[in-house]
Amino acid sequence: MKFDGKVALITGASRGIGRAIAAEFSRDGAAVALLGRDTAALEASAHECRRARAGAVAEIFAGDVADQAAIERIVSEVVARFGRIDFAIANAGQSIDALILRLKADTIDRMLDVNLKSAFYLCSAVAKPMMKQRAGSIVLMTSIVGVMGNAGQAAYAASKAGLIGLCKSVAKELGSRNIRVNAVAPGLIETAMTEKMPGAAREFLVKQAALGRAGKPEDVSGVVAFLCSDAAGYITGQTLVVDGGILM
């Protein structure tokens, strides 16, 4: 997968899967725009990109993914800097667990803002330059929890399930302009978010996986790169599960 001359915008690029995606695209030759709020962590991601490929272009664009005006501003800045956006990866996400009887309104709002609304804003903002190019690929990062649900994660599951519907709808809207939209649903991946899981819950998921292990961020980043590549040129509106065989 060669992305020479291409530009990738990645939200939630400060750590974990987002950082791995940024390094993957850099390794494949793309210039990457790293979006997030933690500038120090984004700097570390940019350093990782430069380690992945000598001369890699990795630039930071600080902003809140849940702020529509900020997303529109940053997309404009990326286009002004690079002249185009070929790939947009909506990776920003957050998990706040609570049983339905204890869910507070601000928790629900936060889950929808960060996990779902941010993807709406990104799709809307990048659609404009991609339509002018008559080409582009958007990847939304959902979760197997959005497919199967999970006790104690109603708000998180609902926000991630919403991404699947968003993916299909936007794929139908933009397909005639040669813009593809797909989703990736990771299972248990070794990140800072999953480190907070209770040991018993983590062990249960590992046992459920046919491969018998948790995944690594690089297990996901390669799939994202594939979906953006010419090899996936006839794939759109799909959700690709990357879970080691938990959902079968």
Catalytic site positions: 156
DSSP helix/strand/coil, 220: helix
Classify residue 116 by its DSSP letter.
I
Residues in the chain: 248
Cα–Cα distance for residue pair 152/150, rounded to 1 Å: 6
Print burial letters for 188-220: b (CB count within 10 Å at least 16), e (below 16): bbbbeebeeeeeeebeebbebbeeeebbebebb
Question: CA-based angle 167:23:128, to the nearest 5?
Answer: 40
Adjacent-strand bridge partners of 9: 33, 88
CA 152 vs CA 54, 104, 160, 226: distances in Å: 44, 13, 14, 33
